């Protein structure tokens, strides 16, 4: 496991990391309750989740394509049509910067 | 948006074709804009989160193209529809408190008898956009069963509604789900607490009255662990020269070990576009059954679905459709096996006559991680004359090698020998054809509550007698 | 470097010495091809099939290599086995040529084939002649980067009969892939019989497309058999148009996918004339990470009374990562149908049968092997040519021997 710097706390975005030779895009979100990181690919039809709507109260992200919803904390599915959970990543905030554990 | 009068099955046995003068509390207007969506939300005094969902769904609806498959929806004019009509100020719980004309409607439809005879556990009547009458048997409410219309549910049980609304059918699932999410009004809400079995059916009846009316009911049913409920819905509308639109959304969550059966006998008049999205989630050891009868409407596009999310869950779709002159019934079922050891069955029987067109459209999918799933689909079609048509479009997407999947379909006509045999026993040709059709759909009708089976058989018989008279 | 352009087209046209009509057809096809955005011309017809990794620019048109056996038997009775360029002058060939057509959904590839096929071949059997010996066409792809377009026009006059075997194979390339588009058009005259057997065993670096269409005259019989063993990606589209009253079609197929193979079969049983019969049986086994797609339509027109149509697709999944998508479709526009039936199954070898074999002392591996061979035997037994049956059985054995991935 290594730590990858994502960016400053106020400039969060997606980041691409390479795992086992395969590039993977991870979306990072800053909510009042904390910083969350999930795989940026919807498990339904592989659209980018980072384009979707975040519900801060429920801590969920809604995919902009069909409306599938995932928990940002656990990755589990909260609304169809997705049926498989999305991968989550641990984040660490240190000195105003956000790091990902991959 | 017009259907030529001569295209309609006017006066041919559809005895619900009358209409009453239209009265409403709001000023109904045609066409859909963001303001109309806001007005609907405001007049229901909804929480802000629901208004937000509606408006977002409206945006999705505008952007989504019409489906490129299925029936021909080219003549729907979204600007020529009334999206919201509130017939009375508040719904009543005493049937006698209904305004005369609405009361008469339900008496004419024969609905109130069934209730009075205690044949059902609870009932809700929807007239145009809202529920007008509602009652539940006292013993059921005392067990904690919640059965009300969706608007009331949003007011009285907002937490449950917020938790489940849009989780089975998200706002952008398809164009018509988006439309419904924007302008939904009425529909049923049912919650059955753990372990409770609702021994006799809960029922709803939907009636469109005004010309060019759109009805967008939204139903949410949550059957908690180990519980059971059977919900039955029926519907009808007057015959007009121009078209109506019925675009409903039904979401059902069947929790661990619970069971739900949802029966529909759809008998809209032949000028209604019936575009419905119905889907259920079945958790571990749960059972979901859709029993779907499609007799009326100009065009129906409806594919009850089940997502088998928990191990050993089971889903069944029993579908019967009749398409007569000028009708296109595009129905079927969809099952997605997400968890292991799940099973499903889809049985579809369709009959087309007098140039009618039936279609079966179905999907059976087994996800890669779902082990040892079994599914069997049987879709049979009976074409009664040379001008009618039947299409079958089943899709199987199997991504786990332990699945056992079977599919069989047969399209046939009424066998000459069978007909001859019955007629040689002194039965008239019309009756003989009727008997053969009844035998054909029997696997489905035997699953219906008695009075529905009788009604369905009668309706089909009338449709068949149709132009011959 | 030859590209898919006018210059290459002109070069091919001048080297064949063909009639102007053919060159015109080439040009028209290239023009239509350039108007298309990509291979997926029709989303529904390409459902479940992805071609994201296909790049036409990786290939250049090359002359197809083909060895022909049995031509003498046809010529001896006044028939034709010759390039289209030389035989278009014959009115029978010209008539069939004017009827050539392929599924619109394959236009991206069929237009390329029309434009760049170096030597389309005509096999014509004259009236009342039965050619006892099968005509064998042996094709191979020679080099990586080649795009070849073997094109065959099979014509049988009234009451003629012929069997044509199309055999394709290649050796694996060190690097790169090749493209082979096999277009076959069968024009079966009244009362004639055409049996067309295609066995594809390319190495797994060949993109193989096989658009095939057969049209029938009154009382004609068509039998097609498609075996897909090799190839990186195979899309075989077999259409039968039963125009002639009383005509019939038997469409059989076997496929065995392994590793990362993608096998795509699309079929059409189109009943147009009265009293027509069609029967389709496609069986496939998938191991490794192979993916199969089957989509077939049985269409019975309003005037096609008393049609008898059956359609069966059976898929055996032999490994964790194999998958199959199947959509058998029916569009019936009349009630005057004798029979219209289809069935699909997807699953593992039947546990009960395996248990029975194991209880008789066979190992699990051998039991599965016997099951799979039995599964295919039923279709293979219907292949009329003995040597081809043997070849198929050997290929199935070789597939079963392959290490699972």
The 10s digit of each residue's pLDDT in C230-244 is 999 999 999 999 999
pLDDT tens digits along C112-124: 999 999 999 999 9
Best interface-test mutation with B: which of C298, C308, C346 has the largest number of B CBs within 10 A? Answer: C346
Distance, CA of B301 to chain centre: 10
Instruction: Check CB contact under 8 Å for B167 and A78.
Output: yes
Q: Does B167 contact A80 at a Cβ distance shorter than 8 Å?
A: yes
Q: Using a CB–CB cutoff of 8 Å, tell me whether B408 touches chain C.
A: yes
Say whether residue C335 is in contact with chain B using an 8 A CB cutoff.
Answer: yes
Residue C184: strand pairing partners: C152, C212
Q: What share of chain A is helix, strand, coil (3-state, %, to 5)?
A: 5, 55, 45
**Above 60 in pLDDT, residue B118?**
no
The SS3 call for residue C274 is: coil
Contacts of B168 in chain A (CB under 8 A): 79-80
Q: How far apart are CA C119 and CA C12, in angstroms?
A: 9
- The residue in chain B having the minimum alpha-carbon distance to the alpha carbon of residue A80 is B168
Give the model confidence (pLDDT) of C90-118 as tens digits. Answer: 999 999 999 999 999 999 999 999 999 99
Instruction: Pinpoint the alpha helices (H) of C84-169.
Output: 84-87, 91-99, 107-116
- Residue B112 is predicted with a pLDDT of 60
- CB within 8 Å: B171 and A67: yes
**Distance between CA C298 and CA C311 in Å, rounded?**
8
For range B413-431, the mean pLDDT:
85
Distances (CA, A) of B247 to A48, B109, B129: 30, 22, 12
Q: CA C145 → CA B133, B429, C3, C206, C220, distances in Å? A: 73, 68, 11, 10, 40
Q: Determine the pLDDT at residue B5.
A: 37
Percent of chain C with pLDDT over 70: 99
List subunits contacting chain A, requiring 3 or more Cβ pairs under 8 Å: B
Structure tokens at B318: 């029993």
In tens, the pLDDT along B57-75 reads 999 999 988 887 888 888 8
What would the two tokens of residue C176 be?
A: 């790169």
Which residue out of B170, B307, B308, B338 would a mutagenesis test of the A interface target, given it has the greatest number of A Cβ atoms within 10 Å?
B170
User: CB-based contact (8 Å) between B309 and chain A?
Assistant: yes
Give the Cα separation of B322 and B320 in Å (integer): 7
Average pLDDT across chain C, whole number? 93
Confidence (pLDDT) at B113: 61
Closest CB to B398: pick one of C324, C332, C333.
Answer: C324
Q: Do C340 and B412 touch (CB under 8 A)?
A: yes
% of chain A beyond a pLDDT of 70: 93
A4-16 burial by CB neighbour count: b if 16+ within 10 A, else e?
eebeeeeebeebe
Q: Cα distance from C354 to chain B (closest Cα, Å)?
A: 14
Instruction: Compute the nearest-CA separation of C344 from chain B (Å).
Output: 5
Query: Do C333 and B389 lie within an 8 Å CB cutoff?
Result: yes
A80 and B170 within 8 Å at the Cβ level: the answer is: yes
CA distance linking residue C271 with residue C247, whole number of Å: 9
Query: Mutate which of B48, B172, B181, B220 to disrupt the A interface (most A C-beta within 10 Å)?
Result: B172
**What chain B residue is nearest to A70 in terms of C-alpha separation?**
B167
Whether B1 has a pLDDT exceeding 50, the answer reads no
Separation of alpha carbons C71 and C122, rounded Å: 11
> For residue B87, what are its two tokens?
């017939």
Chain A contact residues (CB < 8 Å to B): 53, 62, 64-69, 78-81, 83-84
- In this predicted structure, the answer to whether residue B313 has a pLDDT above a threshold of 90 is yes
> Closest to B398 (Cβ–Cβ): which among C321, C342, C346?
C346
How far separated are the first and last CA of chain C, in Å rounded? 37
Chains B and A are in contact, defined as 3 or more C-beta pairs closer than 8 angstroms: yes
User: Residue B468: is its pLDDT beyond 50?
Assistant: no
Q: Is the pLDDT of residue C26 over 50?
A: yes
Contacting partners of chain C (3+ CB pairs under 8 A): B
Give the pLDDT confidence score for residue C350 in this predicted structure: 85
* CB-closest option in B56, B60, B168 to A80: B168
Residue C302 distance to chain B (closest CA, Å): 7
Q: Determine which of A24-38, C14-28, C328-342 has the lowest per-residue pLDDT on average.
A: A24-38
Instruction: Name which of C165, C222, C157, C219 is nearest C388 in CA terms.
Output: C165
- Cβ distance C341 to B408 less than 8 Å, yes or no, reads yes
Query: Which of A64, A66, A83 lies at the smallest CB-CB distance from B307?
Result: A83
Q: Name the more confident of B98 and B394.
A: B394
Residue whose pair of structure tokens reads 């505008």 in the numeric block: B62
Q: Which of C354, C218, C341, C232 minimizes the C-alpha distance to C288? A: C232
Q: What's the gap in Å between the CA of C307 and the closest CA on chain B?
A: 11
pLDDT band at residue A65 under the 50/70/90 scheme: confident
Q: How far apart are CA B393 and CA B397, in angstroms?
A: 13
- What residue of C is the nearest CA neighbor of B351? C335
**pLDDT score recorded for residue B9:** 41
DSSP secondary structure letter of residue C172: P
3-class secondary structure for B287-344? EEEEEEEECCCCEEEECCEEEECCCCCEEEEEEEEEECCCCEEEEEEEEEECCCCCEE
Please give the pLDDT value at position C2. Answer: 66
Note whether C347 contacts B404, CB cutoff 8 Å.
yes
**What b/e string do you get for B273-286 counting C-beta neighbours within 10 Å, with b at 16 or more?**
bbbbbbbbbbbbbb
Residue C134 scores a pLDDT above 80: yes
pLDDT band at residue B81 using 50, 70 and 90 as cut-offs: confident
Interface check C330 vs B, CB under 8 A: yes
Contact residues on chain B for A62, CB-CB shorter than 8 A: 170
pLDDT interval class at B292 (50, 70, 90)? very high
Tens-place pLDDT, residues A3-27: 877 777 776 667 777 776 778 888 8
Distance from CA of A27 to the nearest CA of B (A): 22
Q: What is the pLDDT of residues C349-387, one digit of tens each?
A: 888 888 888 888 888 888 889 899 999 999 999 998 888
A81 contact residues in B (CB cutoff 8 A): 170, 173
Please name the member of A62, A66, A69 whose beta carbon is closest to the beta carbon of B173: A66
Distance from CA of B402 to the nearest CA of C (A): 6
**Single pTM value for the model:** 0.83
User: In chain C, whose CA is at the least distance from the CA of B382?
Assistant: C335
Least confident of B129-133, B438-442, C43-47, C196-200: B129-133
Residue B296's pLDDT band, with cuts at 50, 70 and 90, is: confident
Which residues is C207 bridged to in the sheet? C179, C233
Of B46-55, B454-463, C2-11, the range with the lowest mean pLDDT is: B454-463
CA nearest to A62 within chain B: B170
pLDDT at C282: 97
Which residues on B lie below 8 Å from A64 (Cβ)?
172
């Amino acid at each position: 496991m290594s730590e990858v710097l994502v960016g400053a706390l106020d400039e969060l975005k997606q980041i691409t990391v390479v795992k086992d030779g395969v590039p993977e895009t991870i979306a990072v979100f800053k909510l009042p309750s904390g910083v969350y990181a999930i795989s940026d690919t919807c498990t339904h039809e592989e659209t980018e989740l980072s384009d979707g709507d975040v519900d801060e109260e429920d801590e969920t992200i809604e995919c902009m394509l069909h409306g599938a919803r995932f928990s940002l904390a656990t990755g589990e599915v909260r609304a169809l049509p997705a049926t498989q959970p999305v991968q989550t990543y641990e984040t660490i905030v240190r000195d105003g910067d956000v790091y990902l554990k991959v | 948006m017009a259907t030529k009068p001569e295209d309609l099955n006017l006066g041919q046995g559809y005895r619900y074709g009358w209409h009453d003068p239209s009265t409403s509390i709001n000023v109904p207007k045609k066409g859909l804009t963001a303001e109309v969506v806001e007005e609907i939300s405001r007049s229901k005094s909804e929480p802000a989160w629901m208004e937000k969902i509606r408006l977002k769904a409206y945006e999705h609806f505008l952007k989504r193209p019409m489906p490129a498959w299925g029936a021909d929806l080219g003549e729907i004019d979204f600007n020529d529809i009334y999206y919201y009509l509130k017939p009375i100020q508040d719904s009543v719980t005493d049937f006698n408190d209904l305004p005369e004309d609405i009361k008469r409607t339900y008496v004419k439809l024969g609905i109130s008898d069934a209730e009075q005879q205690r044949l059902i556990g609870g009932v809700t009547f929807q007239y145009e956009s809202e529920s007008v009458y509602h009652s539940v048997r006292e013993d059921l409410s005392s067990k904690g069963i919640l059965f009300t219309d969706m608007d009331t549910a949003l007011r009285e049980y907002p937490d449950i509604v917020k938790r489940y609304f849009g989780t089975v059918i998200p706002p952008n699932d398809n164009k018509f789900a988006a439309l419904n999410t924007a302008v939904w009004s009425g529909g049923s809400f049912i919650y059955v607490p753990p372990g409770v079995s609702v021994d006799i059916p809960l029922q709803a009846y939907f009636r469109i009255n005004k010309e060019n009316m759109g009805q967008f009911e939204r139903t949410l049913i949550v059957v908690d662990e180990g519980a059971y409920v059977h919900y039955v819905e029926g519907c009808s509308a007057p015959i007009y020269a121009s078209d109506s639109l019925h675009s409903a959304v039904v979401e059902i969550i069947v929790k661990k070990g619970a069971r739900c059966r949802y029966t529909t006998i759809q008998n809209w008049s032949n000028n209604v576009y019936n575009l419905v999205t119905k889907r259920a989630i079945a958790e571990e050891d749960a059972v979901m059954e859709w029993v779907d009868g499609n007799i009326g409407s100009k065009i129906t596009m409806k594919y009850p679905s089940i997502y088998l999310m928990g191990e050993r869950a089971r889903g069944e779709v029993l579908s019967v459709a009749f398409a007569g002159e000028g009708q296109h019934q595009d129905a079927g079922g969809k099952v997605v096996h997400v968890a292991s050891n799940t099973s499903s069955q889809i049985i579809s029987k369709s009959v087309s006559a007098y140039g009618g067109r039936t279609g079966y459209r179905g999907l059976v999918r087994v996800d890669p991680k779902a082990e040892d799933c079994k599914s069997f689909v049987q879709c049979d079609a009976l074409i009664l004359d040379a001008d009618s048509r039947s299409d079958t479009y089943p899709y199987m997407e199997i991504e786990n090698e332990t699945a056992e999947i079977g599919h069989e379909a047969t399209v046939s006509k009424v066998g000459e020998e069978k007909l001859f045999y019955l007629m040689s026993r002194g039965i008239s040709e019309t009756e003989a054809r009727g008997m053969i059709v009844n035998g054909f759909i029997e696997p489905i009708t035997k699953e219906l509550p008695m009075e529905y089976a009788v009604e369905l058989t009668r309706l089909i018989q009338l449709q068949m007698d149709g132009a011959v008279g | 470097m030859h590209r898919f352009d006018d210059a290459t087209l002109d070069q091919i046209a001048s080297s064949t010495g063909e009639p102007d009509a053919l060159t015109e057809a080439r040009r028209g096809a290239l023009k239509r091809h350039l108007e298309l955005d990509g291979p997926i011309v029709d989303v529904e017809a390409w459902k479940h099939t992805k071609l994201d990794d296909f790049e036409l620019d990786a290939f250049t048109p090359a002359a197809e290599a083909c060895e022909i056996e049995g031509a003498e038997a046809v010529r001896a009775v006044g028939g034709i086995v010759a390039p289209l360029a030389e035989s278009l002058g014959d009115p029978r060939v010209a008539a069939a040529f004017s009827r050539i057509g392929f599924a619109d959904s394959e236009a991206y590839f069929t237009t390329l084939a029309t434009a760049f096929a170096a030597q389309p071949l005509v096999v014509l059997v004259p009236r009342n002649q039965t050619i006892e010996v099968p005509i064998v066409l042996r094709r191979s792809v020679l080099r990586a980067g080649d795009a070849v377009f073997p094109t065959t026009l099979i014509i049988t006059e009234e009451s003629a009969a012929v069997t044509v075997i199309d055999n394709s194979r290649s050796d694996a390339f060190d690097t790169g892939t090749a493209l082979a588009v096999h277009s076959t058009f069968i024009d079966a005259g009244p009362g004639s019989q055409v049996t067309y057997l295609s066995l594809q065993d390319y190495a797994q670096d060949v993109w193989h497309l096989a658009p095939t269409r057969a049209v029938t005259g009154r009382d004609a019989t068509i039998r097609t058999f498609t075996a897909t063993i090799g190839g990186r990606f195979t899309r075989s589209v077999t259409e039968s148009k039963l125009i002639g009253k009383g005509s019939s079609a038997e469409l059989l197929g076997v496929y065995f996918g392994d590793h990362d193979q993608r096998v795509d079969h699309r079929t059409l049983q189109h009943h147009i004339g009265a009293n027509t019969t069609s029967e389709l049986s496609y069986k496939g086994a998938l191991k490794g990470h192979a993916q199969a797609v089957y989509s077939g339509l049985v269409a019975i027109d309003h005037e096609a009374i008393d049609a008898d149509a059956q359609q069966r697709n059976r898929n055996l999944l032999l490994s964790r990562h194999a998958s199959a998508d199947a959509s058998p479709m029916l569009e019936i526009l009349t009630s005057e149908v004798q029979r219209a039936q289809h069935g699909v199954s997807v699953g593992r070898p039947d546990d009960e049968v395996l248990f029975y074999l194991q209880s008789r002392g066979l190992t699990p591996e051998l039991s599965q092997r016997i099951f799979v061979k039995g599964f295919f035997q039923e279709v293979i037994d219907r292949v009329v040519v003995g040597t081809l049956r043997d070849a198929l059985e050997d290929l199935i054995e070789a597939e079963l021997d392959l290490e699972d991935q």
